[in-house]
Structure 1
Amino acid sequence: MTGPYLVADSNTQSVRYTLGTGPVAELAPPLKQITERQFGDSRAARRALLRGEIDAIDRVVPWDVAALESADGITVATYALPTVHVLIPNPRKPLTASRHFRRALCYGIHRQAILDEVILRGRSRPGFVVLSGPFPVGQSIDDPIGAAVDRRIAPYPYEPRLALILATVALREMAAAGAAQPAADATPAAKSDSAAGVTPPLVLAYRAEPLARLACEAIQAHLEIVDIPVTLKPLTAGDLADPLGTADLLYAELAMWEPLVDAQQLLGDGGLAGSTSAYMQLALRQVAEAQNWNELWDALRSVHRVAHDEVAVIPLWQTYNDLAYRSTLQGVGQQPVTLYQNVQRWTNSAPRGN
């Protein structure tokens, strides 16, 4: 929440914002307070909206869209810009620091099947596609949001046999280098597994939200097939300052809408991915030094190529999130970029404590 609203109180389940004072508040948004509630279950959120207990749902899960679109008094709006889903590897862990192992993860996850069967559940929606890199592709080949993508590069295919081979190579290289241990705090059993050529369990962290949970459960099942065991770790409020923490992988949903800035924040020194190769440093430097739009887009496509080759992050898929709200809530806009983009225009004819 931004703008004239300030946090009044909060707990693990909700945050209440009230209208502040001062020059910004003089614009006088009609709503004097807004309360955000956290739902761990998408069905509970949908029922609350239909019953009028809440006024809107941000980020409706894709499998609830059809039911809400057909409900009386409910409007579903698709956000204007896409979300990029990736796995961020922890560079402090020897396994996920290995390019061979990161490629094994790409080949071992049937991303198209997860997108089609788990997320879309058999429905077809434009813009829901498997990715080859960290940048969004948009909804068509001439969509400007995809200008940073080298469209000649195809996503890694599902090749479980190749995933097994690459994981074995990574383990052998670690053993030969005398670093065959997943972390300094690894258990003796995990160290023994790695030295014996058996992949120790990976920890996959994710925000405790329905889509992320189901996607991570599917990823876990796919990697088990190629002998890469995975333990899932839902993030708590205390983990958000350092979400990767001691985990091996982080399931992340990124708004890569400003690639000039976002590329550095994700892939540069000190970025979310945490480690930068000499090739990536050079590609990012070319982005920073670009003198015109053509040079900029060429440099960003070079970043895309390096990220794909090095598997700087494990790209999953692109989605377009949806917002659902009751007809009593006015001023939201037809295709906002974010939930609160037009909050100062919101009015609610069924207010709750406003």
Structure 2
Amino acid sequence: MNEVKTIVANIKKGIIVPIYFLMGEEPYFIDIVSDYIEDHVLQEDQKGFDQIVLYGQDVSVPTIIDYARRFPMMSDHQVIIVKEAQNLKSTIDQLVPYVENPTPTTVLVFCYKYEKLDARKKLLKTLQKNKDCVLLESKKLYENQIATWLPDVLKKKHLSIQPKAIQMLVDFLGTDLSRIQNEVNKLALIVPENTEVTPDIIEKNIGISKEFNNYELKNAIAVHDMYKITRILKHFADNPKDNPLVMTLTVLYGYFQQLLGFHGLTDQSEKNVMATLKVPIFGIKDLRSGAQYYPMKRVSAIIATLREIDLKSKGLGATNNLTEADLRKELIIMLSAQ
């Protein structure tokens, strides 16, 4: 995240390099940098002459180099953005000679999404050595990092957010930053500036029930409140469209994996738990509580059962046609066992 801020800040100052190679599993940060370059390096009246967007599935590396060797017509730079550049993976090393000697008046941007360059590729080593290149590896954020990132995003829109509301969003949307950003954009259009986003606001405007959601399910599991667990899972069964089983399984699997890791820690201080397990500070309470109700051996058995239920939900390993309701009952049985 800090690297992205630095890249954007440098562009604002006019510090622009000939090559930006943006790669990695998280497309959100790649889009942030690429969109900023596309929107701000050239003036609007210059873009028609000196800015072009190419797509990896439609062009070859030699063609991209041909474009990059041209000179700008109406401005100091020409901007070339290659989207979906991962489609050039098999021939990407053909870019090496250009990276070794880039055209200084060209700003060439590669959006290499969902993966990173093979470490054995000569291109990666060449990019790393060249001071005229910015190489960004955009990594997926852990849950605790989203707890830091999301308030920053909202702050730019003059909003703040409560920790429980953050967890509701993460449990509902996962760690997909683009989806979270889309929901934040919707909220910014609806709620007044300087509003603190609460679970009530999330429930009203995003459609996540503040009482029946995966966050509350996780809280109930942490204190082994079987009445509440059963109520929530019954609500999920009655409203499967809003509460897909796959999301519930993902949240539960993540929680019990963290709990297994927590059991294995000698140092269970807040600082070490956050650093080792990538858990936000407000998630530690559920681990401490859960550790009292679910010893390590039981946690391992629950994880194994969750895997079985996941396979059954995909039609694998089931002896008959099980419905989602049947599988949710299995969850209740699994959690109620002592």
TM-score interval, smaller chain: under 0.3
TM-score (norm 1): 0.24
Larger helix share, 1 or 2 = 2
TM-score (norm 2): 0.25
Larger strand share, 1 or 2 = 1
Larger radius of gyration: 2
